[in-house]
Structure 1
Amino acid sequence: MKKIFLSVSLLAAVALFSQEITLDKIYSGYYRGKSISGIASLKGGDSYVVIEPAGIAKYSYKTSQKEVNIVDGKFESYIFSSDESKILLLKESEPIYRHSYLGIFDVKDLRTGKMISLNNGNAVQEPTFSPDGNKVAFIADNNLYYQDLNSGKIIQITTDGKKNSILNGLADWVYEEEFGHAKLYEWTQNSDAIVFVKSDETEVPEMYIPIYGKQLYPSEMRFKYPKAGEKNSIVSAQLFRLDSGKTVALDLSDFKNYYIPNVIKTSKPDEIILITSARTQNASDVLKVNTKTGKIQKLFTETDEKWVDTDNVTMEFLPDNSFIWGSERDGNRHLYLYDENGKLKKQITKGNWEVTDYYGYNPKTYEVFVQTTEKGSINKVVSKININSGKSTLLSNAEGNNSANFSGNFNYFIETSSSASKPYTFVLKDNNGKAVKELQNNDELLKKLQADNLVTKEFFTIPNEVGDQMNAWILKPKDFDRNKKYPVFMYQYSGPGSQSVSNSWDAGNGLWFNHLVQKGYLVVCVDGRGTGFKGTKYKKSTYMNLGKYEIEDQIAAAKWLGKQSYVDASRIGIFGWSYGGYMASLALTKGADVFKTGIAVAPVTNWRYYDTVYTERFLRTPQENPKGYDENSPTEYAKLLKGKFLLIHGTADDNVHFQNSMEFAEALIQNKKQFEFMAYPDKNHGIFGGQTRPQLYQKMTDFLLENL
């Protein structure tokens, strides 16, 4: 026989273009989709802008045609002033934590063409135009400033800002991570005052992480990280008036004041809203600040016997200063209308479904525009609802995951849609939901995937032990045969209020799961108790017992799957990242008789090691609820490990610290348990950079092929 030798490059090309979904294709960009970046409506409602490679372009809603480039050049993001006469341009950025970053910004006057560097070209955080468009506030080195755009003069508001000590108008690590934003200041509507939160984190315990790099001695990353039950930043609300140049502390002593997660302006010129909370997070005061006098009025207190979602606030002030508020008080997240003094006028939305996003209110038609789960908990649709009659009109597709960006006058919106079987499309629609023009699709991507034998999710439900029907999806091989026995690989996240079973395009692990299906696995995902969009009873059932019911439901799902004729019950594995890694760790210990294999990436293994705001919201403090912390820690069950277990963590994870995996590894070692462990040097919670992700997913794939 004649031997044929193929070059390495030819072999790679053959692998890349074989008719299957491969890791090489996934990470080469071969399946990269198309999108529209930076969509925003201009105020008049006739035009919208997007970020393009050559600049920021203006398009007509009516014709969907490009009108002009507002700014030429390459920019990461932009913000318009209220009157749209100026634009704040982010030229380059450097990430800090999940939401925060340092940025170099310019301000362009769109009438004169004049360009001004913000802060003399030095990096800043969280810049914001004053409502009159003449000033920009920003934070530098933990101090709050504003720059007068007419004179160029920079005014320093605070002087005591210091790293790991005092922050002015800026969230500390735990506020940013768990309340979902880094900015903690706001201008008044008349631009004459700023209310900001000062955080004193001096007494917060410090976390330090070694950074190895390519240096002789490792350096250290040090930051304040309050672990459950430990001291948080001491926060205070401050009022700065531009006319006097003075800052005064606002007296919150009569109100809940442990946390101040939100600062919001009203429709009136001299008012700011503060939303405050006790440490328990089961009650939030909504406070109105008069910025002329400093007087504070409590509008109402939002309460819940378990917790209030202080990280997911919906509050918009209407022209008459009445406001719309989002609440879970009737068992589902809905909208409520209040007058300006905090008196409830009516519940706007009702039903056994949830409002998942709020887009705005049209005072001419008395309609609110929202995203909801009206068409089932795995779908998200866009609707308009008349606040007087309660009439709801569906504007988007009835299935899939649909979101909207509305024009300023609500005459048009750009719908972004996907489903489990169709990647993102961008369609321009009118305010009755009629399609005007498709702006972008991903048909080319879908054709590539279909040519490579893509399989799509089938949705169904699985019962748990208390009778709940848990949402689930399954991926089956193209040549699926019910008479064969298949190994099952389960994926989940399972954290409070999360959702992994959704009728949406999976641009994350979806292609890897398809790769595994082509290797002969069934891939299944189940949303058990504690997950979201099925009402508060289901979501909050895990209160004070994180991990207990979630792992019971994953074990119940695995047992149910094992009873199906086409499943090999002796070959069930599980995978998760972060909270999902915590669950995978419990599955291989508490569920050792059910799961043969598990992969835990960046897992929490002891809730005592995680942050205050998140952990205490669901468990209270360790001092109040020690059993809730210890009885569902994987380290307590290390002796039960039976199956093949792969533990993975980045050494520079600022969120779920490497310490979690170190403790679990030690517990497994002391119980003479064999397992595999992979540490990613200097990588954070996302474990990415360079060739890291391809290596990680190849490692997990090889582990599964060998052990499941």
Structure 2
Amino acid sequence: MKRILLLLTGFVISGLQLSYAQQRMYTMAEATNGLRQALMPERLKQFEWVPGENAFTRTIINKGAVTWIKYTVAGTKTNADTLLTLADLNQQLFSSQPLRGLPAIHWINANSAWFNVANTIYSGQLLNGAMQFTTWCSLPADADNITVNPQCRHIAYTVKNNLFLRTADGSVKEVTNDADGNIVNGRTVHREEFGIDKGIFFSPKGDLLAFYRMDQRMVNDYPVIDWSVTPAHAYIIKYPMAGGKSHEVTLGVYQPSTGKTIFLKTTGEADHYLTCVTWSQDQQSVYIGLLNRGQDHLWLNEYSATTGELIKTLFEETDSKYVHPSHPLTFVPGKPDQFIWWSDRDGYTHLYLYNTKGQLQKQLTKGAWVVNELAGFHAPTHEVVITAAKEGPMEKHAYAVNLKTTGIRRLDQAAGWHDVQLNSNGGYLLDTYSSKETPAVARISDVRGKWQETLLSSADPLKEFKRPEIKQVTLKADDGTPLYGKLILPVDFDSTKKYPVIVYLYNGPNVQLIRNTFPYSGNLWYEYMAQRGYVIFTMDGRGSANRGMAFEQATFRELGTVEMNDQLQGVAYLHSLPFINRQKMGVHGWSYGGFMTTSLMLRHPGVFQAAVAGGPVIDWSMYEIMYTERYMDTPQENPEGYAAANLLTQTKNLQGHLLLIHGTNDDVVVWQHSINFLKACVDNEKQVDYFVYPGHLHNVLGKDRVHLMQKITDYFDNYLRPGL
């Protein structure tokens, strides 16, 4: 009886504490970085499938103890075995300077693994059910782009602008030796457009190495100033601006056994783009998506890996606006003559099955929705596993598509945004997802749908906070296209009051803000501002991602026009709400959103009384070639479009209060954009507010981001909140 009374008393006290805790307001630090730190929902740590097995590893932290555990799927359950603890690893290797956490450990095969600490590579072997690590090798301190090949244990890496290969026998081969630092080997090219995220490509067996070589000597120099030293120092980068000289890229193939490199003969325009680099399964050839500078004509070419000669063009793709290849070929397991190709040719991103003769076998997916990722294959059922927006653009789900019949079946049940990983044989699936009501769930299941087990279901890290009501909004563009947005109401909302409003936007290509994820607001700063009495509105207009090509290409050659019309539909909706104060409206965005924010203030003056534009593109002729020319063509081809979008010529229209913010070391939207804007404002006798973040790149991250968001908040408070 006493124990029951204590439990009941504890329940009452806990209830009182919960009631009080639910009234918590966010601090600025929590609103800014909380989702990356203490307020981040619990997630799986260092999950990785074990090659060749129905098993996976993950890191567990329990009462300060860090453990690396292997889980083997056995029938209808998983069996766990501890492979390594942090204490064991420190005893093995780091007794003099213990690690504070387990590094990211990657499997080589089912019995061996590796990790990297400070450019020293360590390899481990399973012995009696435990992992024993030893030093594999030490790479130069300035080695970068470290790529370990598990098949033959070669390690490729770059030092400055050159590429090196450490072979399995320990010898180091200098693959390139370019003295001119403007010739760059083994790194990403084309400013990481076209899905390019690496410059090193091992062959399937790992004994051959393909790599990008980028010659950017012809590209204009551009200074990025380091203000942290006296005198300040100028770092010279190469920045290819729209309409100007672009770099020239080739692809080399290095053979370690001979020490020789041949370059594929990708003839044509010197400044074309080489994308979708893929080795053939027999290592005899390399496939490249060759895209012209105008980005409206793609050739999928096959080149000999031994001579560099063009073998054949498998097929071509053209589009009156642009072709946007972003994925390499994916070969069907067990069928080296069949591969899957991604294409937008029917208006949506879908998958197509081809043979290596270039003959289309079938379109695998079809409909008014886009494929998001290709996760892998399940050979016994002849299926490829994908994620797609089939249920609607605000959700992403996993599906299995039959390679023979093109039949499609959904692999998950819960609403939300799902990311998946398949094990090596495709029989088991890790599904991690969140939604409006679900902070984070990780579930492993049989791809056939016969069994599943929940590995993690995160508690709500925001349950103690006073959170706003969030409403889903669907509007229509001027052509009838549905537009999806969210309206975030102030806490303690009173429909008889008038509230200031902040419109947050991006609305540029390849980005989607409105999704069914946790938190449903999409950003804790929105909720922080709602706690301070603001209405927040955000919407994806035409031009943004995950809605198909007609939606994305609506802005072609006139960036900042159609998107603003859509955002003004949002403004009209806000004006229709009786609780919105039309004289207290603000707008904020960063990067493309900064361009949109500044455009709205200049091209539609008077709509907003206050605005904050971060890292804004001001003049598209000063932005990088690959991105800008895709959506605008060149300034020479489209002078009217560039002129209409050039905000330097429109500062005379400025009404209201505009704050521009820029990182001084921004190498994406270079600082000159906003500097030139200031000069134009001075020339037109227009007052504008300005703030810079010394040493920061395109985004202000880390602890300084708290300062940034406080400055933005103070600015809106100063002009929109007085009198509340």
TM-score by length of 1: 0.89
Q: Distance in 2 between matches of 1:90 and 1:655?
A: 29
Q: Tell me which moved more, 312-321 or 364-373.
A: 312-321
Which residue identity does 1:689 align to in structure 2? Answer: G
Aligned AA for 2:403? I
Q: Counterpart of 2:296?
A: 282
Counterpart position of 1:166: 183
Q: How does 1:478-517 map to 2 (within 5 A)?
A: 478-506=491-519, 510-517=523-530
Provide the rounded CA distance (Å) in 2 between the counterparts of 1:25 and 1:131: 41
Aligned residue pair count: 673
Q: C-alpha distance in 1, partners of 2:512/2:460?
A: 28
> Which amino acid counterpart does residue 670 of structure 2 have in structure 1?
H
Deviation at 1:69, TM superposition (A): 2.6
Aligned ranges 1:221-620 → 2 under 5 Å: 221-253=235-267, 258-296=272-310, 297-313=312-328, 315-321=330-336, 322-433=338-449, 436-445=452-461, 449-455=462-468, 457-506=470-519, 510-620=523-633
Moved more, 45-54 or 525-534: 45-54
Instruction: Give the corresponding residue for 1:90.
Output: 116
* Paired residues of 2:504 and 2:587 also in contact (CA < 8 A): yes
Q: Secondary structure of 1:539's match?
A: helix
Runs of 5+ unmatched residues, structure 1: 1-14, 93-103
2:143 aligned with 1:124, yes or no? Answer: yes
Deviation at 1:471, TM superposition (A): 0.9
CA displacement 1:40-87 (0-9 Å, x = unmatched): 212224111235574654222344453233683645534443x45543
Aligned to 1:23: 28
CA distance 1:30–1:128, shift in 2 (3 Å): closer
CA distance in 2, matches of 1:84, 1:162: 43
**Cα 1:126/1:661, change in 2 over 3 Å:** same
- Give the conservation status (yes or no) of the 8 Å contact 1:131–1:189: no
Cα distance in 1, alignment partners of residues 143 and 652 from structure 2? 50
Partner Cα distance (1:303, 1:52) in 2: 50
SS of alignment partner, residue 155 of structure 2: strand
Distance 2:447 2:469 in 1: 32
Aligned to 2:709: 697
Contact 1:129 1:137 (8 Å CA) reproduced: yes
After TM superposition, give the deviation of residue 19 of structure 1 in Å.
1.9
Alignment match of 1:157 (pick from 157, 170, 175) = 175
One-letter amino acid of the counterpart of residue 157, structure 1: V
Q: Take 2:604 and 2:243, find their aligned partners in 1: how far apart are those partners?
A: 29
Conservation of the 8 A alpha-carbon contact between 2:264 and 2:305: no
Q: CA deviation at 1:18?
A: 5.9
Matches within 5 A, 1:147-226: 147-149=166-168, 151-160=169-178, 162-163=180-181, 165-172=182-189, 175-213=190-228, 215-226=229-240
- Among all aligned residue pairs of Structure 1 and Structure 2, give the percentage whose two residues are the same amino acid: 27
* Deviation for aligned residue 1:567: 2.0
Name the amino acid aligned to 2:715: F
Distance 2:46 2:641 in 1: 43
Give the Cα separation in 1 of the matches to 2:180 and 2:157.
15
**What is the CA deviation profile of residues 114-146 of structure 1, one whole-angstrom value per residue up to 9, with x for unaligned ones?**
634445453422233446323222222222221
* Matched position secondary structure for 1:470: strand
SS at match of 2:381: coil
- Counterpart-to-counterpart distance in 1, 2:176 and 2:510: 38
CA contact (8 A) 2:278 2:329 kept: no
Judging changes above 3 Å, is the alpha-carbon distance between structure 1 residues 392 and 497 closer, same or farther for their aligned structure 2 residues? same
Q: Which residue of 2 aligns with 1:706?
A: 718
The 3-state SS of whatever aligns with 1:503 is: coil
Bigger Cα displacement from structure 2, 452-461 vs 694-703: 452-461
Within 2, Cα distance between the matches of 1:545 and 1:706? 34
Distance 1:38 1:313 in 2: 26
Q: Which moved more, 1:20-29 or 1:605-614?
A: 20-29
**How far apart are 1:520 and its partner, in Å?**
1.4
Partner of 2:711: helix, strand, or coil?
helix
TM-score of the aligned structures, taking structure 2 as reference length: 0.87
Residue identity opposite 1:147 in structure 2: R
Q: How many angstroms does 1:310 deviate by? A: 2.9
CA distance in 1, matches of 2:286, 2:500: 57
- Unaligned stretches of 5+ residues in structure 2: 1-19, 91-100
- 1:413 maps to a residue whose letter is L
Task: Check whether the contact 2:165–2:175 (CA below 8 A) recurs between aligned residues.
Answer: yes
Q: In the alignment, is the contact (CA less than 8 A) between 1:543 and 1:618 conserved in 2?
A: yes
Alignment partner, residue 679 of structure 1:
692
Cα distance between partner residues in 2 of 1:444 and 1:434: 29
1:625-664 residue CA offsets vs partner (Å, 9 max, x unmatched): 1222221122222111111211111111111111111111
Distance in 2 (CA, whole Å) between partners of 1:186 and 1:633 is 40
For residue 667 of structure 2, what is the amino acid of its counterpart?
A: D
For the Cα contact (< 8 Å) 2:156–2:200, is it kept in 1? no
Answer yes or no: is the 8 Å Cα contact 1:257–1:276 preserved in 2.
no
C-alpha contact (below 8 Å) 2:369/2:547 kept by paired residues: yes
Between 1:252-261 and 1:540-549, the stretch displaced more is: 252-261
Return the letter of the residue paired with 2:694.
P
Determine the C-alpha separation between the residues in 1 that align with 2:413 and 2:122: 39
